[in-house]
């Protein structure tokens, strides 16, 4: 455990908790951006630079902005009748999350392989990633690109349909 890890974990965990609990949705999205930056920081920390930059480019540059646009377009700046902290709903949610988290914790704790330290000299150069994607992972790569195209067209069609109906 070193200082970088502690700082980054604080950023991510606090960002994530704020993102799911804040009533003000815009604040929620901004904390989510904090969380995204924290995860990107972890990627840099783990020598996966490329993933880190892609994370920032995609999540901060696109997903968060998309969320903000969705919030603006649905006039939902704050969640109005959200139940309070000690409501049954929130307590149930916390219990469930705790249960799942406990299972994962249990699984990790009971695994000796988890206690190893980081081997030195592990890097991921962009050239290597590209080569892997174009050889070993070419089929998933193509599938994902197809999926992305389909999602893009789908999103446009879904959003457009109503405009034509409104006339």
13, two tokens: 């965990």
11 forms part of the interface with other proteins (CB under 8 A): no
- Smallest gap from Cβ 37 to other proteins, in A, equals 8
Of the candidate residues 82, 84, 86, 164, the single one contacting other proteins (CB under 8 A): 82
Cβ(48)–Cβ(83) below 8 Å: no
Binding to other proteins (CB under 8 A) within 33-72 occurs at 33, 35-36, 39, 42-43, 46-51, 53-72
3-state secondary structure of 82: coil
Q: Burial code of 6-38, b = ≥16 C-beta within 10 A, e = fewer? A: eebeebbeebbebbeebeebeebbbbbbbbbbb
- Smallest gap from Cβ 157 to other proteins, in A, equals 9
- Smallest gap from Cβ 112 to other proteins, in A, equals 10
- Smallest gap from Cβ 7 to other proteins, in A, equals 12
Cβ(33)–Cβ(60) below 8 Å: yes
Give me the 92-131 binding string for other proteins, x by CB under 8 A, dash otherwise: xxx-xxxxxxxxxxxxxxxx-xxxxxxx--x-xxxxxx--
Give me the 127-156 binding string for other proteins, x by CB under 8 A, dash otherwise: xxx--xxxxxxxxxx--x--xx-xxx-xxx
Of the candidate residues 11, 76, 84, 164, the single one contacting other proteins (CB under 8 A): 76
- Smallest gap from Cβ 93 to other proteins, in A, equals 3
* Residue whose token pair is 């970088």: 4
Cα separation, 157 vs 164, in Å, equals 11
- Cβ neighbours of residue 33 closer than 8 Å, sequence gap 6 or more: 15, 59, 60, 64
Of the candidate residues 74, 84, 86, 164, the single one contacting other proteins (CB under 8 A): 74
Cβ(25)–Cβ(77) below 8 Å: yes
């Amino acid at each position: 455990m070193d200082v970088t890890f502690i700082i980054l974990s604080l950023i991510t965990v606090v960002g994530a908790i704020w993102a799911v609990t804040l009533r003000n949705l815009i604040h929620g999205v901004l904390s989510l951006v904090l969380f995204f930056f924290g995860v990107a920081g972890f990627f840099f920390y783990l020598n996966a630079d490329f993933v880190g930059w892609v994370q920032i480019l995609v999540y901060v540059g696109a997903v968060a902005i998309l969320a903000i646009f969705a919030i603006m377009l649905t006039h939902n700046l704050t969640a109005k009748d959200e139940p309070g902290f000690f409501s049954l709903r929130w307590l149930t949610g916390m219990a469930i999350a705790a249960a799942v988290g406990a299972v994962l914790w249990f699984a990790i704790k009971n695994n000796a392989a988890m206690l190893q330290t980081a081997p030195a000299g592990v890097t991921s150069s962009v050239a290597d990633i590209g080569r892997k994607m174009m050889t070993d992972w070419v089929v998933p790569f193509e599938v994902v690109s197809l999926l992305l195209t389909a999602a893009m067209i789908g999103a446009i069609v879904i959003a457009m349909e109503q405009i034509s109906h409104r006339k």
